[in-house]
Structure 1
Amino acid sequence: MLKKIIAAFRPDPTLLRTRFLQRFAGKTVIVHAGLSIGWVSELNKEAGGGAHFRIDARNVPGRKPSPIEWVVHHHILPQHLPLPLLVKVDGERLLIRHLSRNDAPVHPSEIYWMLGEFPHRAHLILTPGGKGFAVTRGIPVADNAIDYDVGFEDPI
């Protein structure tokens, strides 16, 4: 009986996951621990740059986390990738790549290229599993190079 009472006050992980996937389907989220005003200003200058959702991971969720807080704090941050992170919600999977190189955030103009390299060049892919997400590791954390020629290759 006590377990049922406690469960009534805990958030339902399956519901949080479903709500997150419905809300952010086809969208991108930038998970960070503080971004400089200059970086955000440059992001907003990029085509579509203002359309990325941003969440500051320093804000710890309360007892009833929102779906995005639950995903970030229970499934993304425990993977220990360098921040900031680019998360693309692609159907029911989360494609994740960190946005840092040489211990500093990459220029916001590189986000467009990184999105084009998904799903083949993701550091992590999270897919629904159990009451949360199953994690598949992709490219090594140290690898964050971008192939700028990928869109310009000669098909012959």
Structure 2
Amino acid sequence: MTHTLGFTENDLRRLAGSRSFNGGLGYRSAVSRLDVGDGAITATVDGTDAYEVELTEDEDGGLTGWCDCPYGREGNFCKHCVAVGLTVLGQAGSVPRQRSAAASRTRLLDAWLESRTRGGNCSSWYGSSSPVTVSCAAAWSCARQPPRRTPASSASAS
């Protein structure tokens, strides 16, 4: 699995420590909105509150975790990060397909945004008779919205 993802269960255990790792085991069923992107894995984990989690693999194979729970905001690799990591490891077979789809969506959006900055319109993408052209303005508006969170602190693998 390491070749597919770049991290293992042992990496999660090392980053989190035994207490957070064991806590994360019980939160696997609380993971929702899992998105395995080209450069990051994001999810929501329902605990005391709904916590946003992001895992990022660097080019050297290290794993970085960010969570907006109190312990995660202190720069710790928390149980919520562990739960997301374990969930992804459990779905390792589908990760390459999910990452490919994410990269494709990113390329399509980048190309579409580029066409909009050059004065293009949605008709050039979908044809003037396409029903998609009707929602062009709405899609442009959504694409300009700020990201829903700003990264705080994180923990890195060594």
Using the size of structure 1 for normalisation, the TM-score is 0.29
Q: Which has the higher contact order (CA 8 A, sep 6+)?
A: 2
Whose strand fraction is larger, Structure 1's or Structure 2's? Answer: 1
Whose helix fraction is larger, Structure 1's or Structure 2's? Answer: 2
**Larger Rg belongs to:** 2
